[in-house]
Structure 1
């Protein structure tokens, strides 16, 4: 008997400390280790009249009727099979010294029973209180004489941890054989649930673990929250960096409501319209690209407001003379002086003295001084437009002279454009408009010329 007690204590320690993470639905196995008491008295046994009492008579008379072996004397193992039902077996030992009201010699008691148990919490959840009913049958020996029994019992577990409970139970064991009296067996001890599988060792058994292969947290049904921001990894766009729920778990360092990964300026608060960058003056240009970040201005002026340095009402961007006051009709420059008839005549006379080498579009040396005088005169009339006409003498074919006159007109335009800003067009007239006789050398030299006509 001493060895049995030691075995039961060792079993209690092993099971209790190796399965401390459990929930009832995940622990199909339960072991009960108890002290048992056998009572033959309140059984209404007609075969033992005067020795036993009526049903439940003196039911709690421990001192006079209970046979208690003062050691761990009963062990049962059961397995949960679903819908509140468990099946199991129980073995018990005891020493019988009281048979109802009669003292007897020291008789040995052995019982082996199979049972079906139903947990009432399946219908009415009472929390830590876990009542149950039990039915079954078995075989019991008293002083080596045995008989089969039919059993029925009531019990309750009180779970003071998730998997360890205090257990009490009472069962009625009825024998149909004369040599084994019916009796009550009372049990008090410890119940331990175990057997749940927890692959990732996170305290949540695989049955209820949404991520059974990855260690996780109870609040996420066993799934992980790597960055500890309260958002499980599967719903966290930034699972390795703590962030905000409003941004699906991503951080917002500058607190502007834009996740760092989508923020072009993650350390400076900005606006969504600027992809998280600031625009202090609200001109639609981020401060980093704005030459005037505190003054609104257009992007064409790099975020700065347009200026009018000369105060003539024409913005510098549109003012051809930004530092000299002018008029709008002359693009911010001083009013245009229009050419007089005299000045036009002088210009035309100068043009007639522009001479070319025979058969070429190159100028005679003395012509450059004439061209410079023309340019100097034109500088006073920058808005005037002119047509440059080219002419030849009659030497050579018409087509050759037409081509040469075009080249000469363009030669003058090219030179004048290098000196002034006026607009010019070039036209070649060939030999069609002579101003002198082509029969003399002097006349032909005069015909190799250009003329300048004012367009507007």
Structure 2
């Protein structure tokens, strides 16, 4: 009874210590129950019946002391980074102490064995990248009694957890317990090995968001989610977690990262400028009925192909001269391709202009135009307006009467007088220039009155580009 009460005290001490410490991030708490075996022989101790270290280490039949019942209980808690703290209590009966060098076995008369131990362990599971094979190394200390005699121990352990499920493992462990005090032959406990085997149950995982997925495995530990998505939510139920869903509130497809494609044109709704009407990807999901590369909504002529430069409408040729209005310098007047859509001044027109120009009369010796010339000047203006892009030179000429200097000045003045009349009556001034040639370019003889009359003239000639 005395020994049983001592074991109960040891077990309560184990449970009390364990609650203040830490096992695995997912299931930080672990409880183990099992059996233990005590082997005093293969420790390299000083007692005459102890052998060399690890001598006959696996000789269970000759050296192991095993109590055929549950004889060890451990409680542990995960600390972090692979480390755990474990406290354990164990009981046993010691009958086999070892053997002398001559092979004589040394026995005892059912010595009671009690131990309370604490251990810091480091798991190699993550290092080995395994989920079921979990070897660990441990170091710690404890106190061991043989009957009424107790001693402190320094412990080193090697153990293995074989995880059968996430929470259940089969455990085996071997611990070397070095006794600090020096004991004579009949004083106990000596340095020894303690082996154990049992079942470990892990529990107590943290689930911050309460979704049934432990924080360790929960990719969204602060937001309730679904187990199939590692604890992350799928608000729209389309099978794509919100964190990876470009449209978390609207069901869509994986092809479009969780977004819908309402019109089925291959462009997801957020990127589709026309989400309810099937269109083309290159036009951001909008249709192009006339196939001119301009979306219907931006096409001035959606049913008639045309260039973007003309707002999707085809270019017109209003004057029907074969030159499109965009290239036609005279879009309202039929012309020729060679002259950019404008009419060309023919030799016949040029001749008519000069016949009219020859009828322009001036006051004698002056550059002022006589009123009776207005009609012929207006006829000239009408012809010039038919050729809106053509440029002309108004040329002034005189006969040889008078000085050359006077004739030059008079021809300049008369040419400019005609030019000014034309520009003041609707002809673009940039289409006209004026020049006087004096008496230098006669078209008839100056020896006769008729000849001199022909030489006193104004000509209007086309400027050829």
Q: TM-score, normalised by structure 1?
A: 0.51
1:36-435 pair list within 5 angstroms:
56-57=60-61, 66=68, 92=89, 94=91, 109-112=113-116, 127-130=131-134, 140-146=144-150, 156-159=160-163, 165=169, 167=171, 169=173, 177-180=185-188, 186=196, 188=198, 190=200, 203=215, 265=273, 269-272=279-282, 280-285=289-294, 287-299=296-308, 301-306=310-315, 314-315=322-323, 317=325, 339=348, 351-356=357-362, 362-375=368-381, 388-391=394-397, 397=406, 400-414=409-423, 418=427, 426-430=434-438
Unaligned residue ranges in structure 1 (runs of 5+): 48-54, 197-201, 210-217, 436-442
- What CA distance in whole angstroms lies between the structure 2 residues aligned with 1:375 and 1:159? 109
- Give the secondary-structure state (helix, strand or coil) at the position aligned to 1:111: strand
- What CA distance in whole angstroms lies between the structure 2 residues aligned with 1:150 and 1:381? 117
Q: Deviations over 1:324-363 (max 9, x none)?
A: 99987898899999749xx95x866654453446787554
Identify if the C-alpha distance between structure 1 residues 246 and 383 changes in structure 2 by more than 3 Å, giving closer, same or farther.
closer
- Give the secondary-structure state (helix, strand or coil) at the position aligned to 1:451: strand
Task: Note if contact 1:140-1:148 (Cα within 8 Å) is conserved in structure 2.
Answer: yes
1:452 aligns with 2:452: no
- What CA distance in whole angstroms lies between the structure 1 residues aligned with 2:355 and 2:318? 41
- Give the secondary-structure state (helix, strand or coil) at the position aligned to 1:141: strand
Deviation at 1:310, TM superposition (A): 7.8
Deviation at 1:391, TM superposition (A): 4.9
Task: Note if contact 2:21-2:76 (Cα within 8 Å) is conserved in structure 1.
Answer: no
Q: TM-score, normalised by structure 2?
A: 0.51
Task: Note if contact 2:149-2:189 (Cα within 8 Å) is conserved in structure 1.
Answer: no
| 1:21 aligned residue | 25
Deviation at 1:394, TM superposition (A): 5.6
Identify if the C-alpha distance between structure 1 residues 378 and 122 changes in structure 2 by more than 3 Å, giving closer, same or farther.
closer
- What CA distance in whole angstroms lies between the structure 1 residues aligned with 2:158 and 2:345? 119
My pick for the range that moved more, 364-373 or 410-419, is: 410-419
Identify if the C-alpha distance between structure 1 residues 405 and 195 changes in structure 2 by more than 3 Å, giving closer, same or farther.
same
- Give the secondary-structure state (helix, strand or coil) at the position aligned to 2:302: coil
Deviation at 1:145, TM superposition (A): 2.0
Task: Note if contact 1:157-1:191 (Cα within 8 Å) is conserved in structure 2.
Answer: no
Deviation at 1:157, TM superposition (A): 2.7
> How many corresponding residue pairs?
402
RMSD (Å), alpha carbons: 7.4
- What CA distance in whole angstroms lies between the structure 2 residues aligned with 1:78 and 1:354? 118
- What CA distance in whole angstroms lies between the structure 2 residues aligned with 1:171 and 1:389? 126
Identify if the C-alpha distance between structure 1 residues 331 and 66 changes in structure 2 by more than 3 Å, giving closer, same or farther.
closer
Task: Note if contact 1:386-1:452 (Cα within 8 Å) is conserved in structure 2.
Answer: no
- What CA distance in whole angstroms lies between the structure 1 residues aligned with 2:389 and 2:70? 129
Deviation at 1:278, TM superposition (A): 5.9
Deviation at 1:111, TM superposition (A): 2.3
Task: Note if contact 1:404-1:430 (Cα within 8 Å) is conserved in structure 2.
Answer: no
Task: Note if contact 1:157-1:165 (Cα within 8 Å) is conserved in structure 2.
Answer: yes
Deviation at 1:413, TM superposition (A): 4.2
